[in-house]
Structure 1
């Protein structure tokens, strides 16, 4: 091939001829490699589409771009064997290109695996606790693995530079000072990496968990190695350090299951008849679309001279559904009480002016009568 190219550029100076031969050989090798790659992946795409599994579709799609450039590199390697000038150039850049392509392919395989496993973990079902746990582990471990792959790839690329290798040897000579400096500089990164491992192993939170943090109710939207994104009910996002969930206290409503118990508190007049209210609550909760048929009960949990505390216990399949159910039940019951038992609503009692003194005088008269004893009965003979 090189002889044929040299015949076509006869009469050109030697240095220019070597450059032209190297460029033409590299272009031909890359073009042949891209054609071969296109034919191969067209066949693989048809095979993956014919199968029922989505895993092979994801893998083929993810590997298309990095393997295209890997084929180009292989084509240049084959062309460099026949072209000395191209071989010298490839020897200088191969230390950069090969680790980069290997790392890219490794990342593509990792991401395709994570995406395929995420599809199997469906979090749209009612009881999605196990699916959320799998997605959380995949998200954390994939980010840690991605960090390690990128770190190793960059390290291999840098080690291909002779100057960097000399710097590394110099640092190794002063290992104590280097270890101290690197340890101090990498402390936040290492702490975040260790926290990510702890999060994946201990699982204090999972994706889509319902948590209460600093008085804010929200869901875990994303878990990174250094921070966690919590989506609050009004679509605000709280960005919380990962270590916060390992070192501080917080409320996790869906730690063991997505099903939850909730309650609605209603305050009524102390003289209220509870039976009709209990019947109405039973009727409305048993026919409600959001109730999961696990728990429902009405109880008087407290009583004072001012009000009677009534708790309506209920259950739902998840946190969001429970919140909507509580709001709708509270609204319905207050409306029903206002229309059917208006006297049950809490009202502030206030005695009229002078009523308190009159009540005190009556109580005094009663006490004096008790002290005097019973009055004598009249004699029947008289």
Structure 2
């Protein structure tokens, strides 16, 4: 009995000792990599991301081979080795996913998005993030299939997962058509360059910036700090505005309704002085035109430009406020007004400018003079 207990515990003790030794080796290598990678972001990221999964893989493999070598033909040997083998497969998949994340960080570090012209960087970020998510999902599916293949009763199922992807895809498509539709739409967005991380878009009449793109949904950060969650298929099925697809610089319009008395060249010069007084303007476009001249007022459009959408919004508000103040102070007669019937003989220009014009009361047909009153009394209206 004693020999049986010793024969059972001895392999476990050996496996435990091997596991502790493997942990010490992994920890030493980890610290060496951290010290050597002080000047290398890639080495530091690799050491930190892969430290935990490497511990599991090394320890589990050490225990596996120790038990296999020293356990002999004990009753628990086969079940223990099989369980250890399953965990090793999961740990290897974890390590592969960690290495994919390290590769993603290395690729993204070469493309900065905090620079004015970041269209290429945002496209690369979108594609790398989406590719990493797809590959991680593939690694997880492969790991599950390999686990199934280690079980004799489920080996046929595991082989089917690997060899019958088309049949499984048909079944999954029938069971979750909308999910797969969004997944394929997410892949299409990642590589079609229709929308990228950081793009300024108009969706559902909301202005916002694309914050996150996954395989199934897109998060739009709206200007008032709300988050608009949309399925990825929305961007492939419906029209939307992308303000930064080719570049971040934009044009914006400010509209004014003014009276016809406004001297347009003076307002054009004032627009130029206003733009030159602020750093929101990028110096590209300063145009003021009369775009409509019908009815009681004429419509003027001021076209301005800025380096990105937030600056353009602030610039439009700044121009609108400044030119409204200038119109009120410099040309009050040009403010929008509703014209009514003019009942006096005073010229319209004199009425607007406040000039006094004297008229001869006898020049009117029915005046308050003696002749005028006589004519009024004799007037009986037009003849039938």
Q: Into which bin does the TM-score normalised by the smaller protein fall?
A: 0.7 to 0.9
Distance 1:347 1:18, change over 3 A: farther
Aligned twin of 1:82: 70
Check conservation: 2:148, 2:158, Cα contact below 8 A: no
Match of 1:17 among 6, 29, 40: 6
Within 2, Cα distance between the matches of 1:283 and 1:176? Answer: 66
Aligned twin of 2:27: 38
Check conservation: 1:267, 1:309, Cα contact below 8 A: yes
Distance 1:282 1:171, change over 3 A: closer
Aligned twin of 1:92: 82
Check conservation: 2:11, 2:70, Cα contact below 8 A: no
Over residues 290-326 of structure 1, what are the superposed CA-to-partner deviations in whole Å (9 max), with x where a residue is unaligned?
Answer: 1111111111111122221111111111111111111
Check conservation: 2:254, 2:301, Cα contact below 8 A: yes
Is 2:202 aligned against 1:221? no
Within 2, Cα distance between the matches of 1:192 and 1:35? Answer: 46
RMSD: 2.7
Within 1, Cα distance between the matches of 2:213 and 2:19? Answer: 41
Aligned twin of 1:157: 147
Aligned twin of 1:199: 189
Check conservation: 2:203, 2:241, Cα contact below 8 A: yes
Higher RCO (CA < 8 A, seq sep 6+): 1
Within 2, Cα distance between the matches of 1:141 and 1:180? Answer: 23
Aligned twin of 1:67: 54
> Secondary structure of 1:222's match?
strand
Displacement of 1:119 after TM fit?
2.0
Distance 1:281 1:167, change over 3 A: closer
Aligned twin of 1:233: 223
Aligned twin of 1:300: 290
Check conservation: 1:218, 1:231, Cα contact below 8 A: yes
Displacement of 1:167 after TM fit?
5.2
Q: Decide which moves more: 335-344 or 294-303.
A: 335-344
Within 1, Cα distance between the matches of 2:242 and 2:169? Answer: 40
Name stretches of at least 5 consecutive residues in structure 1 with no aligned partner.
Answer: 1-11, 356-364, 366-382
Over residues 72-101 of structure 1, what are the superposed CA-to-partner deviations in whole Å (9 max), with x where a residue is unaligned?
Answer: 113213422223347534422143122212
Over residues 174-216 of structure 1, what are the superposed CA-to-partner deviations in whole Å (9 max), with x where a residue is unaligned?
Answer: 9999775444125344323322322222111011111111211
Aligned twin of 2:323: 333
Aligned twin of 2:15: 26
Normalising to structure 1: TM-score of the pair?
A: 0.82
Within 2, Cα distance between the matches of 1:286 and 1:348? Answer: 34
Check conservation: 2:19, 2:59, Cα contact below 8 A: yes
Aligned twin of 2:353: none
> Secondary structure of 2:37's match?
helix
Normalising to structure 2: TM-score of the pair?
A: 0.82
> Secondary structure of 2:116's match?
coil
Q: Decide which moves more: 106-115 or 160-169.
A: 160-169
Within 2, Cα distance between the matches of 1:32 and 1:186? Answer: 48
Distance 1:299 1:231, change over 3 A: same
Check conservation: 2:8, 2:71, Cα contact below 8 A: no
> Secondary structure of 1:228's match?
strand
Match of 1:48 among 37, 44, 50: 37
User: Following superposition of structure 1 onto structure 2, how do residues 223-372 of structure 1 map, counting pairs within 5 Å?
Assistant: 223-351=213-341
> Secondary structure of 1:221's match?
strand
Check conservation: 1:32, 1:75, Cα contact below 8 A: no
Within 2, Cα distance between the matches of 1:266 and 1:87? Answer: 86
> Secondary structure of 1:140's match?
helix
Check conservation: 2:61, 2:88, Cα contact below 8 A: no
How many residue pairs get matched? 342
Check conservation: 2:183, 2:216, Cα contact below 8 A: yes
Distance 1:122 1:176, change over 3 A: closer
Distance 1:97 1:177, change over 3 A: closer
Match of 1:208 among 198, 201, 205: 198
Check conservation: 1:25, 1:83, Cα contact below 8 A: no
Within 1, Cα distance between the matches of 2:159 and 2:301? Answer: 72
